[in-house]
Amino acid sequence: MGVPFVHQGRTRRGLDCIGLLELALHDAGMGHYAAHPANRTDYGRDPHRGLLEQRLREIFGEPVADMRPGDVVALRYAGPIRHVGLIGDHQHGLSLIHTDSHLGRVTEHRIDDRWATRIALVFRPEVSA
């Protein structure tokens, strides 16, 4: 929490949403997801035209219907999917852990109705054997 937002950032000195996802998966022993060929850093600030959704499906497979802590979520803001986050376990229910460019850092907050409507797809990474 609190790591500064840096577009295409991949270290604890600065992260974007994909960097946060890579770091979390690596720290959870799921580095094989972060190393997937679809997880490239050659993207613009607005990954439109379905590219982000396509890459998430290539990496994680088909989405699931429910949400639980540890899941990866794809979010949309009045248009195509353009942001990813992680589902956490908040004291008042599920939370969203993500980078927030407006706040300028990694943050966690409860998933209220407004945030729930932004969640377009839910993926469940599996631990490799």
79-100 tens-digit pLDDT: 888 899 999 998 878 999 999 8
Three-class SS state of 28: coil
Please report whether residue 119 resides in a domain. yes
Beta bridge partners of 72: 86, 123
Q: Name the domain count of the chain.
A: 1
pLDDT of residue 63: 97
What band does 111 get if pLDDT is binned at 50, 70 and 90? Answer: very high
Please report whether residue 68 resides in a domain. yes
The pTM of the full predicted model, rounded to 2 decimals, is: 0.87
Please report whether residue 16 resides in a domain. yes
Please report whether residue 93 resides in a domain. yes
Of 69, 74, 58, 88, the residue nearest 18 (C-alpha)? 74
Domain of residue 24 covers 10-123
- Residue-wise pLDDT for 61-78, tens only, equals 999 999 999 999 999 988
